[in-house]
Structure 1
Amino acid sequence: MKKFWKWKNRTVLNQETQEPIQERTLFLNGTIAEESWFDDDVTPQVFKEELCSGSGDITVWINSPGGDCVAAAQIYNMLMDYPGNVTVKIDGIAASAASVIAMAGTRVLVSPVSMMMIHNPATVAFGDTAEMEKAISMLSEVKESIINAYEIKTGLSRAKLSHLMDAETWMDAHSAVELCFADDILKRASEDTEEDENLAVTGAPMMFSHAAVTNSLMDKLAAKCRIQKQPEETGRSVDSLMERLNLIKQHL
């Protein structure tokens, strides 16, 4: 069975009681592929069984460009329903459907070199006008369901989130935290609090909008290709031309 997730279990010591506890880590890597969920009908159930096979808090590492939104919705719901704390750590990219899964984290941490991307859902449709209208309606409903997950995590307005999705927004770690898609930026592990503070990442937020860049490029091209209006020629006045014509007539 093809899987895009991998579990890793290890025994660690509880820092307070010094008792051994089982630490469970889930790695979501690669494309959240449609065939993983629909070629085998038991796959969602298998994922849930693996998720609930242990207890306690879990850590979910995400490095995924996204994929099938239905599969992402199932993972999101399972993580939201999990009784323990779910710490999400984005070490590469959490784009598209993978960003929805990230929203299920009790706490979301992003690597200083990671990226997050949100955009409108897409599909392939074939048929007449009625079929196209059905596809448009379906995509609108899917978008609303995705906004639900973003709204719960970020607290941003639905209109703001809709605009960010329309623009295909790419966020670096600082922008993800600033917009509340993430809670904090990952820092180097250290036992010294002072050292941890010194290792805090600084820098200005960076957010890339595909729509904004396209519009800017089109404006520049339009400015380059615009035909400049030629200045009007300052010709002779009518009186001057008539005077010249009369002078010619005298010599005919």
Structure 2
Amino acid sequence: MRRFWNWLTPEPHNDNPDADSVRVLRISGTIAEESWFDDDITPAIFAAELNAGSGPVTIWLNSPGGDVVAAAQIYNMFIDYPGTVTVNIDGIAASAASVIAMAASTVAMSPVSMLMIHNPATMAVGDKDELARAMSMLESVKDSIINAYQLKTGLSRAKLSKLMDAETWMDARAAIDMGFADELLTGERNPMFAVSPEKPDDDLDDDEDEADSPDEPDDDEKRLPFPLTKNERLGVVFSRRASEQKLVAHLTATSPPKPVRPPRATIQPAAPLGRRVCDLYAELINQPH
């Protein structure tokens, strides 16, 4: 049976004798792509493997999402787990996978990872009543997803709903700034993200401060794996739907000029070649005999 999860046995580390006590779970690929509902015992197997040990659990998450019900079950299992759950997003946590990440006590993101949230989707076939039931079901599912996002971020339900409507993509800095993630995952596998608030311009009034190099980063920025410029304090938030609407509006704002058809070439009558027969005949008649 193919699974989208894999428990790993960490190797003992001499410098950290407690390293082998942290269990590692790797969730990769589409959630419940084949096995979650094809085998009714699958949720029980996952719960049994999760509860087979104790202590902290580190989850490496790289998934485009999948079945929202399966994600909800995993979310509840992690919430109910007595140990500490840490999620490291090393690739992408999109759609239902982002819901799983919200169950962690600490969410760390790689500097090159992405997190995406959007509205749930389904397929429905039938009359208007059947389609109306499908729409009502999607609204209920969206409300349940917002519950998980709100518990983690503290954002209002209205703002979270708008972010989902727009299909919002966030890099690590934006996710941390908005509360979806807590720390930046560095190359040393030590999650950390500490950026001090911007200093007011009044701190630069002294001549001695102005004499220093203005481009030299402060102590907090030196600890970051990559430097921050003044225009890069915040991360990147990208909305696919908003970008598409902006592009369509730009294309339809000014209609392209109609192509001007070239004028048809005027056909000039061909110049007569030689002499006409009637002229030759008249000339023969008029000649003296």
The C-alpha deviation readout for 1:131-183, integer Å capped at 9, x for no partner, is 00000000000000000000000000000000000000000111100110000
Q: Give, in whole Å, the separation in 2 of the partners of 1:20 and 1:93.
A: 25
* Counterpart secondary structure, 2:116: strand
* Structure number having the greater helix percentage: 1
1:64-213 mapped onto 2 (5 Å cutoff): 64-189=63-188, 198-203=223-228, 204=232, 205-213=235-243
Please tell me whether the aligned partners of residues 21 and 56 of structure 2 are also in contact (alpha carbons under 8 angstroms): no
Which letter does structure 2 place at the counterpart of 1:12? P
Please tell me whether the aligned partners of residues 62 and 94 of structure 1 are also in contact (alpha carbons under 8 angstroms): yes
* Counterpart secondary structure, 2:10: strand
Aligned pairs, number: 226
Instruction: State the identity as a percent.
Output: 56
Please tell me whether the aligned partners of residues 6 and 25 of structure 2 are also in contact (alpha carbons under 8 angstroms): yes
Alignment root-mean-square deviation, CA: 2.5
Which letter does structure 2 place at the counterpart of 1:200? P
Which letter does structure 1 place at the counterpart of 2:163? L
* Counterpart secondary structure, 2:158: helix
Please tell me whether the aligned partners of residues 125 and 135 of structure 1 are also in contact (alpha carbons under 8 angstroms): yes
Shift of 1:222: 1.5
Shift of 1:210: 1.3
When Rg is computed on C-alpha atoms for both structures, the one with the higher figure is 2
Q: Give, in whole Å, the separation in 2 of the partners of 1:23 and 1:197.
A: 30
Distance 1:202 1:72, change over 3 A: farther
Q: Give, in whole Å, the separation in 2 of the partners of 1:14 and 1:214.
A: 53
* Counterpart secondary structure, 2:22: strand
Please tell me whether the aligned partners of residues 90 and 114 of structure 1 are also in contact (alpha carbons under 8 angstroms): yes
Distance 1:202 1:169, change over 3 A: farther
Please tell me whether the aligned partners of residues 34 and 71 of structure 1 are also in contact (alpha carbons under 8 angstroms): no
- Give the ranges of 4+ consecutive aligned residues of structure 1 lying more than 4 Å apart after TM superposition: 13-16, 18-21, 193-197
Which letter does structure 2 place at the counterpart of 1:6? N
Which letter does structure 1 place at the counterpart of 2:165? D
Question: Normalization by structure 2: what TM-score?
Answer: 0.73
Partner of 1:51: 50
Partner of 1:247: none
* Structure number having the greater strand percentage: 1
Distance 1:39 1:99, change over 3 A: same
* Counterpart secondary structure, 2:142: helix
Which letter does structure 1 place at the counterpart of 2:70? A
Partner of 1:239: none
Question: Normalization by structure 1: what TM-score?
Answer: 0.83
Q: Give, in whole Å, the separation in 2 of the partners of 1:37 and 1:19.
A: 33
